[in-house]
Structure 1
């Protein structure tokens, strides 16, 4: 999921991790076709017009890999299409979204590579630094469940609050340990957080509302910390069926996406400069998915 849905992230000042990726540009090592649908590998995305995809097609072709970018207008469509074999891969979502799909649908799609994280930021018109915010001041977070949990994790990473559970994708205001927290937290409708800044010490503001409020992404005084394990579930990923997780050609495509300068430049351009590329080993992504799926099952009861 891009910043359209993750508002992030989604993401973040990141120091890329080194991924252990195979360098094979030929069909799968087991001798099968490169893609489930034939020699052309079909990759589902939301927003085919984003500049990274044309660059990705060209870079893959230079490596002898024929890919077809399949565009979807609805985020609910690429995962079922991948499950049914209509797609070989998809790239549009973060781990939290994939976990919810797998749990709800009883499927086993799995991440094989990371792309970027889109930061969720904390903004203030009163203070230039988190350290300047006095104890007892009030900070706002969005009141929708997904962004509220993520916003609380940002506040915890910034040292403003402590969450009793340590923080999860389901954290809410009741999870705040007030005795151990520096600030008070209130929840507001997401579109109201920027306009309420004059009455607050700071507020978590979704990316979609930052520029509308006359702010820039560089104005954030804190944002998701990609080195924090709590941020990992919000990293955007390539996903495929579990039985294809070791397909060498798919791994090569991930490597191309992560290392080709034209692809990376297109990703940054498409995100308005907010996306931060990340390279996280597939095993770490898969471990994170397993944890988030377990948490999701427990939460849904």
Structure 2
């Protein structure tokens, strides 16, 4: 029983990270109707900026504080994601208002390859470390209920809490603020939003910047775990089953689906993996998403599309 609970906890921690990446997709789609294929490349670019500036700044400014280096590097990386958001609106989205969805999708594909190459040109293409100074001692809880207690990795716990805080802030912003409501109006109808005075370009910059911040936090966490490398681009692929399961237009759906995917794939890897030779964690989430599509194409929390004729 204790091992089962440990497996579920590990799955929940992974699920929070999946939900964080999925939120980047959901936020942009809700505000601009664009399926942002570039979200994975944004994770890589932001993580590269964070890792390299954390390495460069102590050399340039002559200090040794790891905390200060990480704070400054995070601030610079966040500013770069704002510049990126402004450039996407100014040079891409502004010229594609009310275009077909496939046109916007192809535009994000172009953005993907551009920032992949540009990021590695500026920051390099080696594997870089992000050291957040997290504790690595294991934590044992509920020792009175289970023999030896339940084992939790302290660094996984801290990173999961960071991701949860980011998810909570984004959810509150989107659901409770006037800007969040304006973003939802923009998603429903670009021309109608403009007709009531909502500045379309500004809204797009805001939402792409928010997606950039989620990419930065996700890249920082995953980079600390596995190093900053080209494979981070594929972290976004882990979010695809999440947005399919939760619904492409639902912020709460991304959170719940991330937790479901994280726990289910962890349980499948531990209990079913040995029976089929392992590797089930790679594809299990996609199979689960396909099953959901058969019965509920809009996802568990997505909005049902009704066409009237």
TM-score, scaled to structure 2: 0.25
> Larger % of helix: which?
2
Higher strand share: 1
